[in-house]
Structure 1
Amino acid sequence: MEQPVVRLHSLRSVQLHVPDIAACSDFYSEVWGLSVVDRDTDDTWLRGTGPSHHVLQLSRAERNALGRISFAVRTRAEVDEAARRLTALGVPLLREPGSLEDVGGGYGLVLVDPEGRRVELSCDLFSVTPRSRDQAVPIGVTHVVLNTVDIDRAVEFYTQVLGMRVSDWSEHQMAFLRCNTDHHSIAFNQAAWTSVNHVAYEMASMDHFMRGIGSLKHHGITPLWGPGRHGPGNNTFSYFADPAGLVCEYTSDVAQVVEDQWLCRVWRRVPELSDLWGTAGPPSQDVRTHMAGIEDRGALAAPAAPAASEPVSAS
């Protein structure tokens, strides 16, 4: 393929399926720092301090799963052209280009990636007035890490079809992909099954990052892993579990890529590079189990029975 079908502008939002939507909605709105913009019986939409209408959608389901990853593109013409080229490549479309009848409005499509993940490409969504960043709460979603059964196939699809670029590798275990100047918006982790590894939320500064951890501590919530600073991406990290057991991360200071100057490197998977500060130590078995999740085949098939969790690595 000479050119990708689309150029993504940014990661806009993530939809997560959870069994106890009330508990998860309360956690993300009352503890994590997001704000509810809309809700109904089966869904809750939450925003950060940035202009996006919502950065997280929680949807009621029988088990944990990824609902949808939403990327921003700039124009309706780009959405239409992406649909034409995706169809020519044989990439399934769950939603043809058109007006999105979701609470955030907009125009877009939904495609299915090789492992069944639903990926939305959209523009013209409603925006909201940005809020003060004085409080230690998230601006929005900055990246999502996904467990994959075939890291090379996943990287090939997201680079050659969706136009993302590989920023770095962590040996042949993880690949970090960008769509703008942020070091990564998506990362893939080689694993035994497809699932969500974690969702990361951007804090405005390291001070906001640390104050956010302190706020969670006052709620009786301690990190699964962190605080620390990763080698790949140079971002700070502190990982927590929400009431569904899904992993959420506070992060800040992600490396910024200058396209003509950045050199992709392969990082060794050693403790001193997974945490440059040396404050967090290596991830525990509990962290690895949470990040492994349960198998999620998405749009490819009905969910399979939960499998015993297998350790996976994260960054």
Structure 2
Amino acid sequence: MEIGASLAALELYSSDPAAIASFYAKTFCLSCDPTGGSIDCHADGRRLKVFAGQAGQLRRAVFRFHSRSDFDAHRRLLSTRGIQVSEPGASHYTVSDPDGRWITFLAPEVDRPMPPGDSLLRARLQHFALRSPTPTKLVEFFVDDLGFVLSDRVLDAQGDLTAAFMRTDSEHHSLAIFRAPQASFDHFSCEAPDWQQLRDWADHMARTGTDLAWGIGRHGPGNDTFLMVRDPDGNMGEISAELEVCRPGRPAGVWPHRPQTLNQWGVAIMRS
């Protein structure tokens, strides 16, 4: 059973936070405000904070629970599994993943509505992805310790894990992990309401003079259509549409490690 939460915000490190904020203000229609050591970039349904630090690394991922009962149940689950919690509070708690990133969980009432942006383009922050030289270890942490549910995994010819997609509610994945030589951030994705708005986002990227780094394509796991752009630090920002909604008890799928798994329509970005 899914834990009943969805992605609410991400915090990224950058050696040039102002450049990253400017890029996402332009491409993802975010309003950006300096806020005590970070730049808060936001629009209705999507929020990124950028901090000074090593480029290409995630500082924190924030999940919001859909109900107080799910929030309380998850906190009890972590306690029974002996998971150490930091920043404990009545409406939030934080854990650290094996690579030192913070994963924060919020009760529903603590998430204040974000100010609406001035763009007619709609998309909500939906998932993020990490790269790891030890993907199995990271997947085991999120599944066995934090209670995420495995939707699909990708295996190479030797049967080794090259990618995994995990969900926290009915949507196919809120987190993906890819095997890669170094631990780093990979991408975040905002879900557009439909295929037509994905097209509108592509037109918007063209108007801003931003080349697509990948897509438009269709992923295998998740079956969503997508486009990606690449920021100055090398991170990718994605707009996707029509992501699979998983039925209760859906068994985890297995995909072969090949370009067609990551993009059914053509060229893929292979992390390993």
TM-score w.r.t. length of structure 1: 0.75
Match of 1:271 in 2: 259
8 Å CA contact retained: 2:228, 2:239? yes
- 1:225 matched residue in structure 2: 214
Which AA in structure 1 matches 2:17?
I
In structure 1, stretches of 5+ residues that fail to align are 99-106, 289-311
> Equivalent residue for 1:240?
229
Query: Contact 1:109 / 1:121 at 8 angstroms: preserved in 2?
Result: yes
Q: Judging by fraction of residues, say which structure has more strand.
A: 2
- Inter-CA distance 42–64: structure 2 relative to 1 (3 Å threshold): farther
- The corresponding residue for 2:105 is 121
The answer to whether the Cα contact below 8 Å between 1:148 and 1:188 also exists between their aligned partners in 2 is yes
SS at match of 1:26: helix
**Do the aligned partners of 2:31 and 2:117 also contact (CA within 8 Å) in 1?**
no
Distance 1:83 1:270, change over 3 A: closer
Match for residue 191 of structure 2 among 198, 202, 208: 202
Of 162, 171, 183, which aligns to 1:173? 162
Q: Which amino acid aligns with 1:245?
A: G
**Shift in CA distance, 157/242, structure 1 to aligned 2, threshold 3 Å:** same
Identify if the C-alpha distance between structure 1 residues 136 and 73 changes in structure 2 by more than 3 Å, giving closer, same or farther. closer
Between 145-154 and 193-202, report the one with greater CA deviation.
145-154
Aligned equivalent of 2:20? 24
1:14 aligns with 2:3: no
The answer as to whether partners of 2:130 and 2:184 remain within 8 angstroms in 1 is yes
1:96 aligned residue = 88
Q: 1:252 to 1:74 in 2, by over 3 A?
A: closer
| 1:94-145 deviation per Cα after TM superposition (whole angstroms, max 9, x unaligned) | 32225xxxxxxxx2111112222210011122332785998234x2211111
Q: Is the 8 A contact 1:8 1:164 kept in 2?
A: no
**d(CA) in 1 for partners of 2:164, 2:95:** 22
Identity of aligned residues (%): 26
Residues 76 and 108 in structure 1, CA contact (< 8 A), matched pair in contact too:
no
Q: 2:89, 2:59 → 1: CA distance?
A: 19
Task: From the superposition, tell whether residues 268 and 20 of structure 1 become closer, same or farther in structure 2 (CA, over 3 Å).
Answer: same
Return the match for 2:50 from 58, 70, 74.
58
Q: State the one-letter code of the partner of 2:239.
A: Y
Residue 112 (structure 1) aligned with residue 96 (structure 2)? yes
Specify the alignment match of 1:291 in structure 2: none
Q: Is the 8 A contact 1:178 1:184 kept in 2?
A: yes
Structure 2: gaps of 5 or more residues? 156-160
Give yes or no for contact 1:110–1:118 (8 Å, CA) kept in 2.
yes
CA-based RMSD of the aligned residues comes to 2.7
* 1:270–1:71 distance in 2 versus 1, CA, 3 Å: same
